[in-house]
Structure 1
Amino acid sequence: MKRSPKDVIESARTVSRRALVVGGAQVAVIGALGWRLQSMQVEQADQFRLLAEENRINIRLLPPARGMIFDRNGIPIAANEQNYRVVMVREDAGDIGEVLARLTELVEIDPDDLTRAMDEMKRRSPFVPVTIADRLSWEDVARINLNTPALPGIQADVGLSRVYPAGADLAHVVGYVGPVSDYDLSRIDDPDPLLQIPKFQIGKTGAENKLEQTLRGSAGTRRIEVNAAGRIMRELDRQEGTSGKDVQLTIDSRLQSYVQARLDGESAGAVLIDLEHGDLRAIASAPAFDPNLFVRGISVRDWTDLNENKYRPLAAKAIQGAYPPGSTFKMVTALAAFEAGVVGPNETVYCPGHTDVFGIRFHCWKRGGHGNINLHESLKQSCDCYYYEIAQRVGIDKMAEMARKLGLGIKHDLPLSAVASGLAPDKAWKSEVRGEDWRIGDTVNASIGQGYVLASPLQLAVMSARIATGREVTPRLVRLIDGVEQPSGLGENLGINENVLRRVRASMNDVCNHRRGTAYRSRILGDDVKMAGKTGTSQVRRITPEERAAGVTKNEDLPWERRDHALFVSFAPFDKPRYALSVVVEHGGGGSKAAAPIARDIMLQALYGGPPPLDAYPEADRDRIADQQRRIEARIPPGSRGSGRA
Structure 2
Amino acid sequence: MRRTPKDNTDSARRITRRGLMLGGMQLGFATVLGMRMRYMQIDQGEEFRLLAEENRINVRLIPPARGQIFDRKGVVIAANTPAYRITVVREDAGDLDDTLARLAELVDLDPGEVERAVAEMRRSAPFLPIAVADQVSWEAVSRVAANAPALPGVNPEVGLSRHYPHGEIFAHVVGYVQPVSESDLARYEDPDPVLRIPRFQFGKIGVETKYEDILRGRAGSKRVEVNAAGRIMRELDRREGEAGADLQLSVDSDLQDYIHARLGDESASVVVMDLEHGDLKAMVSAPGYDPNKFVRGISYDDYGALQADERAPLVSKTVQGFYPPGSCFKMVTALAALEAGVTGPGNTVWCPGHLKVGSRRFHCWKRAGHGHMNVEDALMQSCDVYFYEIALRVGIDQIAEMGRKLGLGMAHDVPMSAVGEGIMPDKAWKRERWGQEWRIGDTVNCSIGQGDVLTSPLQLAVMAARLATGRTISPRLVKSIDGVEEPSRGGEPLDIDPTHLRWMQKAMFDVSNSTRGTAYRSRIEAEEMRMAGKTGTSQVRNITAAERARGVTRNEDLPWKRRDHGLFVNFAPYDNPRIAVATIVEHGGGGSSAAAPIARDVTLQALYEGDPPLEAYPSADRGQIEELQKRLRERRSMPLASGTSRA
Coarse TM-score class (shorter-chain normalised): 0.7 to 0.9
Gaps in structure 2 of 5+ consecutive residues:
1-36, 639-643
Deviation at 1:192, TM superposition (A): 2.2
| Aligned equivalent of 2:210 | 210
Give secondary structure in 2 for the equivalent of 1:91: coil
Give secondary structure in 2 for the equivalent of 1:55: helix
| Aligned equivalent of 2:439 | 439
Deviation at 1:273, TM superposition (A): 0.2
Deviation at 1:146, TM superposition (A): 4.6
Total equivalences in the alignment: 603
Amino acid at match of 1:622: R
| Aligned equivalent of 2:294 | 294
| Aligned equivalents of 1:390, 1:570: Cα separation in 2 | 23
| Aligned equivalent of 2:106 | 103
Amino acid at match of 2:413: D
- Structure 2 matches for 1:340-489, cutoff 5 A? 340-489=340-489
* Structure 2 CA distance for partners of 1:457 and 1:147, relative to 1, 3 Å: same
- Residue by residue over 1:259-294, the C-alpha shift from the partner in whole angstroms, topping out at 9 and shown as x without a partner, is 111112111111000001100000000011111111
* Structure 2 CA distance for partners of 1:403 and 1:193, relative to 1, 3 Å: same
- Residue by residue over 1:213-271, the C-alpha shift from the partner in whole angstroms, topping out at 9 and shown as x without a partner, is 11111222334567999887765442122111111110111111111111121111110
Deviation at 1:54, TM superposition (A): 8.1
Give secondary structure in 1 for the equivalent of 2:355: strand
Amino acid at match of 1:433: R
* Structure 2 CA distance for partners of 1:403 and 1:97, relative to 1, 3 Å: closer
Please say if residues 475 and 489 of structure 1, whose CA atoms lie closer than 8 Å, have aligned partners that are also in contact.
Answer: yes
| Aligned equivalents of 2:370, 2:53: Cα separation in 1 | 96
- Structure 2 matches for 1:158-307, cutoff 5 A? 158-224=158-224, 235-307=235-307
Please say if residues 422 and 456 of structure 1, whose CA atoms lie closer than 8 Å, have aligned partners that are also in contact.
Answer: yes
Amino acid at match of 2:106: L
- Residue by residue over 1:268-326, the C-alpha shift from the partner in whole angstroms, topping out at 9 and shown as x without a partner, is 11100000110000000001111111112111111111111110100000111111000
Structure 1 stretch displaced more, 110-119 or 283-292: 110-119
Deviation at 1:619, TM superposition (A): 2.5
Amino acid at match of 1:102: E
| Aligned equivalents of 2:454, 2:557: Cα separation in 1 | 26
| Aligned equivalent of 1:70 | 70
Deviation at 1:624, TM superposition (A): 2.4
* Structure 2 CA distance for partners of 1:176 and 1:54, relative to 1, 3 Å: closer
Deviation at 1:622, TM superposition (A): 2.2
Gaps in structure 1 of 5+ consecutive residues:
1-32
| Aligned equivalent of 1:320 | 320
**Residue 506 (1) aligns with residue 509 (2):** no
| Aligned equivalents of 1:180, 1:423: Cα separation in 2 | 35
Give secondary structure in 2 for the equivalent of 1:141: helix
* Structure 2 CA distance for partners of 1:505 and 1:150, relative to 1, 3 Å: same
* Structure 2 CA distance for partners of 1:98 and 1:224, relative to 1, 3 Å: closer
| Aligned equivalents of 1:94, 1:434: Cα separation in 2 | 61
Structure 1 stretch displaced more, 216-225 or 200-209: 216-225
| TM-score normalized by the length of structure 1 | 0.87
Please say if residues 50 and 56 of structure 1, whose CA atoms lie closer than 8 Å, have aligned partners that are also in contact.
Answer: no
Give secondary structure in 2 for the equivalent of 1:584: strand
Deviation at 1:140, TM superposition (A): 4.5
* Structure 2 CA distance for partners of 1:483 and 1:640, relative to 1, 3 Å: farther
Give secondary structure in 1 for the equivalent of 2:94: helix
- Residue by residue over 1:191-219, the C-alpha shift from the partner in whole angstroms, topping out at 9 and shown as x without a partner, is 22222221222111000011111111122
| Aligned equivalents of 1:464, 1:52: Cα separation in 2 | 71
| Aligned equivalents of 2:104, 2:187: Cα separation in 1 | 42
**Residue 540 (1) aligns with residue 540 (2):** yes
Deviation at 1:458, TM superposition (A): 0.1
Please say if residues 566 and 590 of structure 2, whose CA atoms lie closer than 8 Å, have aligned partners that are also in contact.
Answer: yes
| Aligned equivalent of 1:22 | none
| Aligned equivalents of 1:477, 1:358: Cα separation in 2 | 47
Give secondary structure in 1 for the equivalent of 2:391: helix
Amino acid at match of 1:604: L
| Aligned equivalents of 2:66, 2:319: Cα separation in 1 | 26
Amino acid at match of 2:436: E
| Aligned equivalents of 1:128, 1:338: Cα separation in 2 | 69
Deviation at 1:186, TM superposition (A): 2.4
* Structure 2 CA distance for partners of 1:92 and 1:159, relative to 1, 3 Å: farther
Give secondary structure in 1 for the equivalent of 2:102: helix
Deviation at 1:374, TM superposition (A): 0.9
Amino acid at match of 2:618: P
* Structure 2 CA distance for partners of 1:344 and 1:550, relative to 1, 3 Å: same
- Residue by residue over 1:78-97, the C-alpha shift from the partner in whole angstroms, topping out at 9 and shown as x without a partner, is 11111112334543778446
| Aligned equivalent of 1:337 | 337
| Aligned equivalents of 1:285, 1:543: Cα separation in 2 | 29
| Aligned equivalents of 2:44, 2:126: Cα separation in 1 | 34
* Structure 2 CA distance for partners of 1:465 and 1:48, relative to 1, 3 Å: same
Amino acid at match of 2:481: I
Give secondary structure in 2 for the equivalent of 1:103: coil
* Structure 2 CA distance for partners of 1:52 and 1:116, relative to 1, 3 Å: closer
Amino acid at match of 1:474: S
Amino acid at match of 2:525: L
Give secondary structure in 2 for the equivalent of 1:204: strand
- Residue by residue over 1:411-455, the C-alpha shift from the partner in whole angstroms, topping out at 9 and shown as x without a partner, is 111111111201111111111111111111111101000001110
* Structure 2 CA distance for partners of 1:102 and 1:227, relative to 1, 3 Å: closer
Percent identity at matched positions? 62
- Residue by residue over 1:559-602, the C-alpha shift from the partner in whole angstroms, topping out at 9 and shown as x without a partner, is 11111111000001111110000001111110011111111111
**Residue 574 (1) aligns with residue 574 (2):** yes
Q: What RMSD over aligned residues (CA atoms) do the two structures have, in Å?
A: 2.8
* Structure 2 CA distance for partners of 1:126 and 1:404, relative to 1, 3 Å: closer
Deviation at 1:636, TM superposition (A): 2.5
Amino acid at match of 1:217: G
- Residue by residue over 1:54-112, the C-alpha shift from the partner in whole angstroms, topping out at 9 and shown as x without a partner, is 827654433211111111111111111111123345437784465245314xxx66565
* Structure 2 CA distance for partners of 1:124 and 1:274, relative to 1, 3 Å: closer
| Aligned equivalents of 1:385, 1:480: Cα separation in 2 | 47
Amino acid at match of 1:500: H
Please say if residues 128 and 197 of structure 2, whose CA atoms lie closer than 8 Å, have aligned partners that are also in contact.
Answer: no
Amino acid at match of 1:134: D
Deviation at 1:496, TM superposition (A): 1.4
| Aligned equivalent of 2:551 | 551
* Structure 2 CA distance for partners of 1:444 and 1:516, relative to 1, 3 Å: same
| Aligned equivalents of 1:61, 1:154: Cα separation in 2 | 17
| Aligned equivalents of 2:297, 2:307: Cα separation in 1 | 15
* Structure 2 CA distance for partners of 1:136 and 1:52, relative to 1, 3 Å: closer
Amino acid at match of 2:504: V
